Amino acid sequence: MPNWFRRGPRAEVADALPWHGWRLVVALLLAGALAAATFPPVFALPLLSIGLLFLYRCAEDAGNWKRAAWCGFWFGLGFHTAGLYWLTDAILTRVHEYWWAVPIASPGCALILAPFAAFPAALCRYVAPGWRRMFLFAGSWTLADMGRIFLFSGFPWNPVGSALEWPGKLGDTLIQPASVIGVDGLTLATVLTALLIWRGRRWAVGLFVLWAAWGGWGAYRLAHIHVLPTINPVLALTQGNISEKEVLSQKDAIASFQRYLRLTTQGITQARRDYPDRAVAYVWPESGFPGLLDEDDIARRMIARAADGTWGVIGSDRRDGHGHWFNSAIALDESGNIAAIYDKSTLVPFGEYQPRFIPFNLLPGQLTPGLGLKTWNLPILGAVGPMVCYEVIFSGRVTGKTRPDWLLNITNDAWFGDSAGPRQHLATARMRAVEEGLPVAQDANTGISAVYSAVGQETARLGWGREGVLVAALPSPLPPTFFAGHGRLTPFILTLICMALSLFPFRKRYSRL
């Protein structure tokens, strides 16, 4: 095993696989699971490098591209099962109904995602061993990752580029290139490095120089950002810490409502005391209101009194006159009147809607998607781009036709318990801030609630499982970033260039296909 795993970079003919049959399957599953430790909150980048190298070697030594694809499939199954282990917590909230899904929730989703790892494992065999094959593997991995937005309503959770979102200044520095190339560009750079670092001393030195330049540019950007004048409000982000069982049963709906009223008053009072010259607004998370807010005049008046004459945004279910249900963010003015409504437009597959190909019913009720992202221009709140939960994970797809001055994501991560799920979700909000050059506020029912500046620096946080209110002055936006103007086209072109480099200079097609 050691000689096979560490064989020199100039090896042109692959040795035999050290394992076969079920032993190889188990090894690939474990390698994928260990590689998933690179995601928040662990950030074990060395394990990603070792895991990807193991998959790469297996793909090299497989008898043909079909066997290489199977290697990628088993690696991907372990990779995504471990990365999404927290999905089981969502099933446990309704275990009396979906007990049968407990052992298959995470592996089931991973089963759908595993072919995206099979693609680069198979495709890389179309060039000879060496750096060109590694370039083709990294490019095709990134291309497959980008393609996950087309899976049902899209599931681009845990792109490899998120492994660079280390806490603190180091992560702030490393993710700054996302303002140009997005998280997909970070994925390409990370996968390339994870493989090429094993090519030998010269490659290692070259990569060190490149990453030093990468970090230097990030540090320079952080030190020389051009900040626009302050125009955004101070926010009182309420975090009621209502368990998902309470949300679903509404057994203590009145107590939950009263808790959020109390937190609103507390937050507004604190914000006005700490920031007497700034506009103040309040936010309730997804599912914050235990009912249908647009149909409850009395509740809205009570909220207005608690907010003492300011504006806010509240998460609530909503229905229309045609039997359709929506997961919505509702803006209220100082009198409790509805000023704007945003209906969640990208729904969670298997959570909020059921793909049509499933012949039997899995969900007790399904939601209807809204008409698309919006930018509200409202007093106190200003120009804000509202989102609900899942929508913040979509790189390049978090703003409407008009660019807002800040982004707001309301969510209820109580589904996922005190696991990696809420941490990974919060990391996506941080990445969107860097990509778009906009401050992002995330308000979560059970946490983690936080505010990020337009360069992804955390300015305020309220941790998991805590009841309270997070009062934070929203930072200013930046001018539109390069990524904000061009979106995912830039990382897509870089990925194609990376794959094209693997074909030049032109050589006769490799014979071991």
Q: What are the residue ranges of helices labelled H in 393-475?
A: 420-436
DSSP state of 290: S
Helix (H, G, I), strand (E, B) or coil at 239: strand
- Could you list the beta-strand ranges (E) of 109-228: none
Residue 27 host element (H or E): helix 21-35
Residue 443 host element (H or E): strand 440-444
From the list 480, 389, 473, 402, the residue with the least C-alpha distance to 434 is 480
Residue 186 to residue 177: CA distance in whole angstroms: 8
Catalytic (active site) residue 389 = yes
Q: Please answer whether residues 371 and 331 qualify as being in contact, where contact means their C-beta atoms are separated by less than 8 angstroms.
A: no
From the list 107, 50, 46, the residue with the least C-alpha distance to 76 is 107
Given the residues 60, 286, 352, 391, select the one marked as catalytic: 286
C-alpha dihedral sign at 77, 78, 84, 85: positive
Catalytic (active site) residue 58 = no
Given the residues 71, 124, 389, 498, select the one marked as catalytic: 389
Catalytic (active site) residue 286 = yes
Given the residues 244, 344, 391, 436, select the one marked as catalytic: 344
Burial of residue 293 (CB within 10 Å: 0-12, 13-18, 19+) is buried
Q: Please answer whether residues 362 and 354 qualify as being in contact, where contact means their C-beta atoms are separated by less than 8 angstroms.
A: yes
What positions carry a catalytic annotation?
286, 344, 389
